A and B are shown apart, each in its own frame.
Chain A
Amino acid sequence: QKEVEQNSGPLSVPEGAIASLNCTYSDRGSQSFFWYRQYSGKSPELIMFIYSNGDKEDGRFTAQLNKASQYVSLLIRDSQPSDSATYLCAVNTNDYKLSFGAGTTVTVRA
């Protein structure tokens, strides 16, 4: 079983729609959770982090964490063409490393 799994893409959404990205993790001891965005040919950049169960909103992005279900998600509201990228879910298990999912590629259609 992989440490971090993301819903397989690619995900194509029309401009203005909501993009929903999902991620599950295997280690119940995981403490911190991150969403990174990676444009083609670039390095990952942080979108959001979340530590506690519930929702966390930042502009058009909302992260949701459910530790009991070992599930974290990212919603992108009012999707824009500039949101077209690969989104990486990362989990830190207190051992000084991030485990990454394979990523979900999102395409926003104008």
Chain B
Amino acid sequence: KAGVTQTPRYLIKTRGQQVTLSCSPISGHRSVSWYQQTPGQGLQFLFEYFSETQRNKGNFPGRFSGRQFSNSRSEMNVSTLELGDSALYLCASSLGTPQETQYFGPGTRLLVL
């Protein structure tokens, strides 16, 4: 099976712009989770989607949003980018129950200038 894919892999934006990141889960996986990883804060949970419904959301401002499509692919959007949004954004997929392992994609490295 193909793994989790994320596009783009690298992105450079300027403050105030917005960005959309995409994630395609492993075939058959219906849950997609998004995480932000920074050197200072580590891996932090953004949100999780299952069958197009957001089931949980982390403590991030409303500038961070996401959605999931009927084919389980997911997108996350960050509006009005700030310098502090520079991070590695990771997507993980699983079958959808809490006990299931989450498998990570390669990530999108975002640099905000």
For residue B99, CB closer than 8 A to chain A, the reply is: yes
A44 x B104 contact (CB < 8 A)? yes
Known: A94-B98, A95-B98. A43 touches B45 (CB 8 A): no
Residues B107 and A97 in contact, CB atoms below 8 Å apart = no
A13 to chain B, nearest CB (A): 23
Determine if B90 and A97 form an interchain contact, defined as CB atoms under 8 angstroms apart. no
Main SS of the interface on chain A?
Answer: loop
Range of interface residues on A (Cβ < 8 Å): 20 to 34
Q: Report Cα–Cα, A52/B8, bound state, in Å.
A: 38
Residue A87 lies at the interface, judged by CB distance under 8 Å to chain B: no
User: Is B79 part of the contact surface with A, judged by Cβ < 8 Å?
Assistant: no
Evaluate contact between A31 and B99: CB separation under 8 angstroms: yes
Cβ of B35: which chain A residues have Cβ within 8 Å of it?
Answer: 98, 100
> Mask for B57-81, Cβ within 8 A of A = 1, else 0?
0100000000000000000000000
* Total A-B Cβ pairs within 8 A: 54
Chain B proximity of A90: nearest CB distance (Å): 8
Q: How many residues of B contact A (CB 8 A)?
A: 24
Shortest A23–chain B CB gap in Å is: 13
Q: How far is the CA of A95 from the CA of B88 in the complex (A)?
A: 23
Query: Please, how many angstroms separate the alpha-carbon atoms of A94 and B48 in the complex?
Result: 12
* B104–A49 touching, CB < 8 Å: no
Q: Which of A36, A43, A88, A99 contacts B107 (CB 8 A)?
A: A43
Query: Of A93, A98, A101, which one neighbours B102 at CB under 8 angstroms?
Result: A98
Asked whether, in the complex, the Cβ of A102 is within 8 Å of the Cβ of B42, the reply is: yes
Query: In the docked arrangement, what's the CA distance between A95 and B47, Å?
Result: 11
Contacts of A17 in B (CB 8 A): none
Q: Answer whether residue B55 sits at the interface, using C-beta atoms and an 8 A cutoff.
A: yes
Partner-B contacts on A (CB < 8 A): 31-32, 34, 36, 42-46, 49, 51, 88, 92-103
Between-chain CB contacts (< 8 Å), 7 pairs? A32-B98, A43-B88, A44-B43, A93-B98, A96-B48, A97-B56, A98-B92
